[in-house]
Amino acid sequence: MKKMHTVLLPAAIASALILAGCGGSGSGDSDSAAPVTDITSNVEITFWHGMTGEQGKTLTTLTDEFMKANPKIKVNLQNQSSYADLQQKLTSTLQSPKNLPTITQAYPSWLTQAFGDDQVVDLNPYINSKDSKLAFDGWTSDVLPGLRDGVTFDGKTLGMPFNKSTEVLWYNKTMLDSLGIKPPTSYDELAAASKQIQKAKGIPGIGFDSLSNFYITYLKNEGKTFDKNLDVTGPESTKAFEYYGSGINDGSFRIAGTDKYMSGPFGSQKAAMYIGSNAGETFVKQGAAGKFEYSAAPYPAKYALQQGTDIYMFTSASPEQRTAAYLYEKFLTTKDSQVTWALGTGYMPIRKSAIADPKYSGSDSAIAPILADATKNVFTPPVTDGYQQAMDDTEKALESFLAKPNNDVKSALSNFKTTYDSDWNQ
């Protein structure tokens, strides 16, 4: 459970207003009144998102299905082109709450200030409602624990898990089979397999899509948390830098670098394996087509980082808009909707029942058969003010360190410490 700075609860919510468009004029914290349980008149809600291509098409299909079953609710899908554009628009609009949408797709790190300012609705009164139309079936028993943790702040459920993924090991099955290498299940096995591949094939064995994700996950598996209390000059952090640095120095590791993502080098057989999102299978499949057989395995350590955005609801929405939006979110997270979403987008289902559903587990995806194992121990680091900046600076620090063969790790971490510590105190 993550902590935020202390907040003040505002006055009781004004009486319900049926408002169209982006935001309503209602204000206040969702705890100050019981949720509206019935939609008695037509209500319109707006959803800002960044889903394009097949992801956008699948979202539209599910939304149309929801509106057909709920004719009094109209959902306006407003695509913001990209995550960067969505984040920028949210940041600027938070200063004018009446212009906010009803709900938005977002990373929690984008909204830490909004959480503290009571601009985001706590969904607990809806999830735990005694009214069967609202109560969320399977919230604690079926939704993956790591995903629930990712939207829980100071005991409040401030979001609904949406387009989620975790990191997995993508590997060139044809190459590994020819060398008698089994998919690594630990960092030590990964390093050993990568060295064997480099010696036999003259290419790096492994690369990680995200250096900051590598660092955060490595620390987690060493028993350390990526937060303001972390000493980046400590032994666990040093071990993480040395692990990747050793692989770079002997040629068995590489970084994505100017390729941005490892799926490109992997497809062109310039790397035999890579750690990246399970949602990247479309790119993996395209790259491997006609050249080699690929496969996937769980992240080679106990803990794997969960990624992706959630859906957050703003307190600027009227009570009826909030209920309509919650019902829409609830629909998107049903087992059947999650199977449709996963098959159409490559993202992972947020429910255990959807992961186990034959329609998903029996699909032609390389991820489906391994996802139950890959999500056993997904985790979310504490997301507080400074988290995003600390992540960005960690990426830069590792990239800079790895660009200089035989760089002195103590010196690099000593220089990084000042930046890292200041990130959390801005």
**Nearby residues of 362 by Cβ (< 8 Å), 6 or more positions away:** 368
Q: Cα 344 vs. chain centroid, distance in angstroms?
A: 17
Q: Classify domain 30-164+308-375 at the CATH superfamily level.
A: Periplasmic binding protein-like II (3.40.190.10)
Q: How does pLDDT run across 276-292, given as a tens digit for each residue?
A: 999 999 899 999 999 99
Confidence at 34, pLDDT banded by 50, 70, 90: confident
Residue 256 is predicted with a pLDDT of: 95
Task: For 313, list phi and psi in degrees, rounded to 5.
Answer: -110, 135
List 143's β-bridge partners, or say none. 351
Residues of the chain with CATH 3.40.190.10: 30-164+308-375, 166-305+382-423
Section 379-404 average pLDDT:
92
Residue 302: strand, helix, or coil: coil
Residue 405 is predicted with a pLDDT of: 73
CATH topology of domain 166-305+382-423: D-Maltodextrin-Binding Protein; domain 2 (3.40.190)
DSSP 115-168: HHTT-B---HHHHT-SSTTT--TTTTTTB-HHHHHTTEETTEE--EEEEEEEEE
**Nearby residues of 176 by Cβ (< 8 Å), 6 or more positions away:** 182, 183, 193, 197, 272, 273
Q: How does pLDDT run across 44-71, given as a tens digit for each residue?
A: 999 999 999 999 999 999 999 999 999 9
Instruction: Decide if pLDDT at 31 tops 60.
Output: no
Q: How does pLDDT run across 90-125, given as a tens digit for each residue?
A: 999 999 999 999 999 999 999 999 999 999 999 999
Q: How does pLDDT run across 64-93, given as a tens digit for each residue?
A: 999 999 999 999 999 999 999 999 999 999
CA-based Rg of the chain, rounded to a whole angstrom?
Answer: 22
Q: Cα 30 vs. chain centroid, distance in angstroms?
A: 25
User: What is the Cα–Cα distance from 323 to 37, expressed in whole angstroms?
Assistant: 7
Residue 37 is predicted with a pLDDT of: 87
Average pLDDT for the chain: 91
User: What is the Cα–Cα distance from 324 to 333, expressed in whole angstroms?
Assistant: 15
Burial 327-338 (b: 16+ CB within 10 A, else e): bbbbbbbbbebb
Residue 406 is predicted with a pLDDT of: 79
> Does residue 45 contact residue 74 with C-beta atoms inside 8 Å?
yes
List 43's β-bridge partners, or say none. 73
Question: Closest Cα partner for 354 from 337, 331, 378?
Answer: 337
Of all residues in the chain, the percent with pLDDT exceeding 90 is: 86
Q: How does pLDDT run across 172-219, given as a tens digit for each residue?
A: 999 999 999 999 999 999 999 999 999 999 999 999 999 999 999 999
> Does residue 352 contact residue 332 with C-beta atoms inside 8 Å?
no
Instruction: Decide if pLDDT at 42 tops 50.
Output: yes
Q: How far apart are the first and last CA of the chain?
A: 22
Residue 306: strand, helix, or coil: strand
Question: Where do the H-state alpha helices sit in 120-255?
Answer: 124-127, 145-149, 173-178, 187-201, 211-221, 235-250
pTM: 0.86
User: What is the Cα–Cα distance from 30 to 35, expressed in whole angstroms?
Assistant: 8
Residue type, 30: S
Residue 240 is predicted with a pLDDT of: 98
Confidence at 33, pLDDT banded by 50, 70, 90: low
Q: Cα 356 vs. chain centroid, distance in angstroms?
A: 21
Section 24-40 average pLDDT:
62
> Does residue 368 contact residue 374 with C-beta atoms inside 8 Å?
no
User: What is the Cα–Cα distance from 184 to 190, expressed in whole angstroms?
Assistant: 5
Confidence at 18, pLDDT banded by 50, 70, 90: very low
Confidence at 381, pLDDT banded by 50, 70, 90: confident
Structure letter (DSSP) for residue 130: S
> Does residue 190 contact residue 374 with C-beta atoms inside 8 Å?
no
Confidence at 407, pLDDT banded by 50, 70, 90: confident
Q: How does pLDDT run across 315-373, given as a tens digit for each residue?
A: 999 999 999 999 999 999 999 999 999 999 999 999 999 999 999 999 999 999 999 99
Instruction: Decide if pLDDT at 22 tops 60.
Output: no
Count of residues in the chain: 426
Instruction: Decide if pLDDT at 30 tops 50.
Output: no
Residue 286 structure tokens: 């395209």
Instruction: Decide if pLDDT at 28 tops 60.
Output: no
Residue 96 structure tokens: 């004018």
User: What is the Cα–Cα distance from 168 to 369, expressed in whole angstroms?
Assistant: 12
Section 257-272 average pLDDT:
96
List 106's β-bridge partners, or say none. 310
Task: For 73, list phi and psi in degrees, rounded to 5.
Answer: -115, 125
